[in-house]
Amino acid sequence: MKKSNSPTMKDVAREAGVALGTVSKVINGIPVGESYRLHVEAAIEKLGYCVNSYARGLKTNRTNCVALLMPSLYHPFFATLTDELTACLMRHGYRSMLMITNYDPEAEKKCLILGHENKVDGVIALTYSPDLKPDDSTAMVTIDRHCGDSIPCVSSDNYRGGEIAAEKLAELGCRRLLFMAVASDIPGEVDKRGGGFEAACRRLHIAYEQIILHDRDTEAPFYDFLLRHIREGVPDFDGIFCNTDRLACRMRDFLLRQGIRIPEDIQLIGYDGITDYATGRYTCSTIVQPIAQIAETAVSLLLDTTGLAVPTNICLPVHYAPGGTTRE
């Protein structure tokens, strides 16, 4: 599949009639006699020389490569996040090694080892392990889940997002709220959405209930719950906050099938800010995560080597956006 005989520095040196070290200096931008530089550059051009980053990496122990651990790219949130992360890394001169973990802690561990073998300069992980830890010598930043105090975690301001959802529903006239959530076994930043919602409800003196399910379970309990709370076509609730857009969309579909009007009878707010790929519109009214900003923050944190104490948790601001499931 390869045969490889790219020119090496030695070839360039010979072609330019200079010593090896001189070529290295030119390539690394270290000052060198003007005429030497020109010769070397000409030789590089002529031979089509291109550095071998494996040789360089072996020597310097830096590879300009970052491992990206993602559960899947089927979910638009992960996909766009990966897009932004990769673009951002490239802007900083880094390449990204993508690893799909399939929500599997075992696979995540394997990927970390793979990354270590590959001497990646750092790891950015959206993980489903409670305790993923890289080799000590490798920098790591997580997204949406804390993995220990030495590892910064960046996320959207989930708590505030929950508050905003409650505030918005209240402002739009809702008086009886419901919080629906799918949660994974292991705790993460995402769990704070409910906390913010509750706090705001209490502060606003609005009645609320909540129902939380495990993400590996079926949604049947949600449906049962909703059905029990619809009497003669009139629902007990006039506003629902779902902890993901996905859930909000699914509940909207279900309620519509039950003859409930959205947003007339029930208003619905999700979380994530997922847009429809065809129209670019939000798939439901939602709390929008600042994906590009999350990516940039994660990259800066990872690459920032100033050693200044970094906060262990960075929350980025979210905002509400109407998407057809609220009366606005």
Binding partner of residue 113 among DNA, a second copy, none, CB cut-off 5 to 8 Å per kind: a second copy
The closest of 112, 87, 86, 117 to 101, measured between CA atoms, is 112
Binding partner of residue 19 among DNA, a second copy, none, CB cut-off 5 to 8 Å per kind: DNA
Binding partner of residue 292 among DNA, a second copy, none, CB cut-off 5 to 8 Å per kind: none
- Kindly tell me which of 4 and 35 has the beta carbon lying closer to a second copy: 4
d(CA 219, CA 109): 30
With H, G, I as helix, E, B as strand and everything else as coil, classify residue 102. coil
Question: What's the N-to-C CA distance of the chain in angstroms?
Answer: 58
Q: Is the peptide bond before 263 cis (omega within 30 degrees of 0)?
A: yes
Contacting residue, 220, 234, 278, 308, with a second copy by CB under 8 A: 278
Contacting residue, 118, 150, 312, 313, with a second copy by CB under 8 A: 118
What residues between 136 and 195 interact with a second copy by CB under 8 A?
A: 137-139
Q: Is 98 in the site for a second copy (CB under 8 A)?
A: yes
Torsions phi, psi for 194 (to 5 deg): -65, -40
Q: Is 228 in the site for a second copy (CB under 8 A)?
A: no
Question: Cβ contacts of residue 182 below 8 Å, gap of 6+?
Answer: 212, 213, 214, 215, 243, 244, 247
Contacting residue, 96, 158, 286, 297, with a second copy by CB under 8 A: 96
Q: Is 259 in the site for DNA (CB under 7 A)?
A: no
**Nearest distance from C-beta of residue 82 to a second copy, angstroms:** 6
Q: Is 63 in the site for a second copy (CB under 8 A)?
A: yes
The closest of 85, 68, 69 to 291, measured between CA atoms, is 85
Contacting residue, 14, 41, 47, 56, with DNA by CB under 7 A: 56
Q: Is 27 in the site for a second copy (CB under 8 A)?
A: no
Contacting residue, 135, 217, 224, 328, with a second copy by CB under 8 A: 135
Question: Cβ contacts of residue 135 below 8 Å, gap of 6+?
Answer: 112, 116
d(CA 97, CA 122): 10
- Kindly tell me which of 9 and 201 has the beta carbon lying closer to a second copy: 9
Which pairing describes strands 65-70 and 122-125: parallel, antiparallel, or unpaired? parallel
- Applying CB under 8 A, what is the total number of residues that bind a second copy? 64
Neighbour count for residue 94 (Cβ, 10 Å): 21
CA-atom Rg of the chain in angstroms: 26
Contacting residue, 2, 14, 25, 130, with DNA by CB under 7 A: 25
Alpha-carbon distances of 33 from 18, 25, 29, 167, rounded to whole Å? 11, 10, 12, 67
291-303 and 76-91 helices, crossing angle to 10°: 40
The footprint of DNA (CB under 7 A) covers 8-10, 18-22, 24-25, 27-28, 31-33, 35-36, 49-52, 55-56, 58-60
Binding site for a second copy (CB under 8 A): 1-6, 50-55, 57-58, 61-63, 65, 68, 72-76, 79-80, 82-83, 86-87, 90, 95-100, 102, 113-114, 116-119, 121-122, 135, 137-139, 245-246, 249-250, 253, 274, 276-279, 283, 302-303, 305
